[in-house]
Amino acid sequence: MFELDVRSRKPIYEQLVERLKELIITEVLTADEQLPSVRTLAHQLTINPNTIQKAYRELESQGYIYSIKGKGSFISPATPNLNSEKIEKVKNELSKLLSEAIYLGITKDELFKMIQELEAAIGGGVEDDQNP
Amino acid sequence: MFELDVRSRKPIYEQLVERLKELIITEVLTADEQLPSVRTLAHQLTINPNTIQKAYRELESQGYIYSIKGKGSFISPATPNLNSEKIEKVKNELSKLLSEAIYLGITKDELFKMIQELEAAIGGGVEDDQNP
Amino acid sequence: MFELDVRSRKPIYEQLVERLKELIITEVLTADEQLPSVRTLAHQLTINPNTIQKAYRELESQGYIYSIKGKGSFISPATPNLNSEKIEKVKNELSKLLSEAIYLGITKDELFKMIQELEAAIGGGVEDDQNP
Amino acid sequence: MFELDVRSRKPIYEQLVERLKELIITEVLTADEQLPSVRTLAHQLTINPNTIQKAYRELESQGYIYSIKGKGSFISPATPNLNSEKIEKVKNELSKLLSEAIYLGITKDELFKMIQELEAAIGGGVEDDQNP
DNA sequence: GTGGTCTAGACCACG
DNA sequence: GTGGTCTAGACCACG
């Protein structure tokens, strides 16, 4: 479930954050579901608990999970509360990456198809249309 | 031309790489054009020459520029080698970022529009169509 | 009456303390009124009795309620003992928070208005004036 | 300059965050001024560097300082960029604390005076009036 | 020299 | 049992 590459340039905690975001976005993990405890996951991945905690804290500050002292860590309900700052940041990153993709010869059609498929897989957090 | 943000969390050499990619993608810098020398640019930006060199090396390994010993660094012609490995990597990153965008409520239509606009601005390195 | 947020970072006993203080300050709960017993409230809120007890103990030490062994817990009369130590502590906290508010751009006028409204809502535990 | 109470219930890193905020708000530390390095401050206060780093990171995420890898940590310029979420949070805390103050018998006049003095000391981040 | 990541491990607060 | 704080100390990336 969590494939970590300890040799990667990418810090372990960032890899964890990415992977967990992915599982949340694709609704493999759903609202209020409990995550493995810091210690349990640390043991499973043979990683230091502090590193797990760092990942959980980052996810919490990004609004993807919430942690309760003495109880555990849980998936946050999907937030249609438009964090406009965060949206701007993602749009900005997208702009750069899409430009590079187009430059590398990935066609508009391929990109459109990619979006269609991703949206289908995710289920679309917010509907484009009123009548489903 | 190179606006670096010394306050940014992003390392300076990464900012340089990004900025140069942008100038190449938007064809402000064109094929076989010579880049300023490491020392010249370092002096202009009042930045350590090692930092410039690191950025140039990164751009070279990504196929955006090439260096000739004793002559200097130059912009590579577009879609240097249809590096399929690189394309896979960018698609992979795009997949993650697009998923997050959709999750945050950015609509399919907004994404389509974004792509249209970027393609128009870039002029499309490679045509969508078979007959050029 | 007691809306607890189990997802909050704030411990449940602290939420209880805050909420009870609020009810006392706004005179929803009045002097010498009896509070629900630890067990009753624990059952109502489906919370561990130890948590309720901890909240009651904290309120007692802050002078907001008093307990009689074998009888129960009761609301203390207003301005229990003009505890100057407590007043100093609150002033100290206020000083920090007001400074931050001003720094963040909240205007003096907004703050004045806030105080006016709060005082009106509370009814002013103690009069501004010397002659009651 | 930094008086820490290691026996306090308040974590050391939070005490540090508070103290540094105070120094920034009162403009003892000014924009782009460099903070002591993590190691230097750790040594001065005989505290573990990780604890200092935790405090610095918290201040960074709150927008009070910025850190550059390899360079150091610096005071952020005052941000009239209304972080509305943060403002709401501070207003909310203020509301509770002001209510308690009024309940404890601190008069409206005392509170007004407090605000006046604080604003004078700080210099008022944003002016109430157009003509200074 | 600077901040950032990570480990190993202790102790505390909450419930 | 859970997350949170803290120490001691190693090694890395940036410049």
Give contacts of C 1-60 with A, CB under 8 A. Answer: 6-9, 11
- For residue C55, the model assigns a pLDDT of 97
Nearest chain A residue to B105 by CA distance is A126
Mean pLDDT along residues B67-93 = 86
Mean pLDDT along residues B68-84 = 82
What is the topology classification, in CATH, of domain D12-75? Arc Repressor Mutant, subunit A (1.10.10)
Please state whether strand E lies within 7 Å of residue C54 at its CB atom.
Answer: yes
Which tokens sit at D109? 């006049």
Which residue, among A127, A118, A130, has the nearest Cα to A26 in the 3D structure?
A118
Which residue, among B65, B39, B63, has the nearest Cα to B51 in the 3D structure?
B39
Pick from D57, D68, D69, D74 the residue to mutate for testing the B interface (most B CBs within 10 Å). Answer: D68
Mean pLDDT along residues A72-98 = 86
Tell me the average pLDDT of chain A: 89
User: Which mean pLDDT values do the consecutive 10-residue runs of chain D (132 residues) have?
Assistant: 88 96 94 96 96 95 92 88 79 96 93 96 55 43
Q: Which nucleotides of F are covered by protein (CB under 7 A)?
A: 1-10, 13-15
Pick from C15, C84, C111, C114 the residue to mutate for testing the D interface (most D CBs within 10 Å). Answer: C111
pLDDT tens, position by position, C48-96: 999 999 999 999 999 999 999 999 999 999 865 567 888 999 999 999 9
pLDDT tens, position by position, B29-54: 999 999 999 999 999 999 999 999 99
- For residue D132, the model assigns a pLDDT of 41
| 3-class secondary structure, A87 | helix
Q: C76 and C60 in contact (C-beta within 8 Å)?
A: no
Handedness of CA D97, D103, D109, D110 (dihedral sign): negative
C45 min Cα distance to partner chain D (Å): 23
Number of H helices, E strands in chain B: 5, 2
Asked if residue A132 has pLDDT above 70, the reply is: no
Integer Cα distance of C67 and C35 in angstroms: 10
- For residue B126, the model assigns a pLDDT of 46
Q: Is A66 on the interface with C (CB under 8 A)?
A: yes
Integer Cα distance of B25 and A98 in angstroms: 11
Contact A105 B96 (CB under 8 A): no
Nearest chain B residue to D61 by CA distance is B9
B119 min Cα distance to partner chain D (Å): 33
SS (HEC) of B26-86: CCCCCCCCECCCHHHHHHHCCCCHHHHHHHHHHHHHCCCEEEECCCEEEECCCCCCCCHHH
- For residue A74, the model assigns a pLDDT of 96
**In the 8-state DSSP scheme, what is residue D78?**
P
Tell me the average pLDDT of chain B: 88
**Partners of D66 in the β-ladder:** D74
Residue type, B87: I
Q: C78 and D103 in contact (C-beta within 8 Å)?
A: yes
Chain D 48..67 CB hits on strand F (< 7 A) = 48-51, 54
D97 min Cα distance to partner chain B (Å): 35
Classify each residue of C105-120 as buried b or exposed e, where b means 16 or more C-beta atoms within 10 Å of its C-beta: bbbbeebeebbeebbe
Contact A104 B79 (CB under 8 A): yes
Please state whether strand F lies within 7 Å of residue B83 at its CB atom.
Answer: no
- For residue A82, the model assigns a pLDDT of 60
Nearest chain B residue to A114 by CA distance is B95
Which residue, among B23, B117, B7, has the nearest Cα to B64 in the 3D structure?
B23
Mean pLDDT along residues C16-42 = 95
**Partners of A68 in the β-ladder:** A72
Distance CA D49 to C1' F8 in A? 10
Neighbours of chain D (3+ CB pairs under 8 A): B, C
Distance CA A77 to C1' E15 in A? 24
Which residue, counting CA atoms, is nearest to the C1' of nucleotide E1? D70
- For residue C131, the model assigns a pLDDT of 45
* Phi, psi (deg, nearest 5) at residue A36: -60, 145
Which tokens sit at B98? 């697009």
Q: Is B107 on the interface with A (CB under 8 A)?
A: yes
| 3-class secondary structure, D96 | helix
Asked if residue A126 has pLDDT above 60, the reply is: no
- For residue C14, the model assigns a pLDDT of 96
- For residue A64, the model assigns a pLDDT of 94
* Phi, psi (deg, nearest 5) at residue A8: -60, 155
Please state whether strand E lies within 7 Å of residue A5 at its CB atom.
Answer: no
Integer Cα distance of B5 and B119 in angstroms: 27
- For residue D131, the model assigns a pLDDT of 45
Nearest to A103 among B25, B115, B116 (CB): B25
Q: Taking CB atoms and an 8 Å cutoff, what residues of chain B touch A105?
A: 79, 82, 87, 125-126
- For residue C23, the model assigns a pLDDT of 95
Distance CA A104 to C1' F11 in A? 37
* Phi, psi (deg, nearest 5) at residue C53: -60, -40
- For residue B131, the model assigns a pLDDT of 46
Integer Cα distance of A100 and A94 in angstroms: 10
- For residue C82, the model assigns a pLDDT of 64
Confidence of residue B79 (pLDDT cuts 50, 70, 90): low
Mean pLDDT along residues A42-55 = 96
Q: Is A61 on the interface with C (CB under 8 A)?
A: no
- Phi and psi based region of residue B63 (left: phi greater than 0; alpha: psi -120 to 50; beta: remaining): left
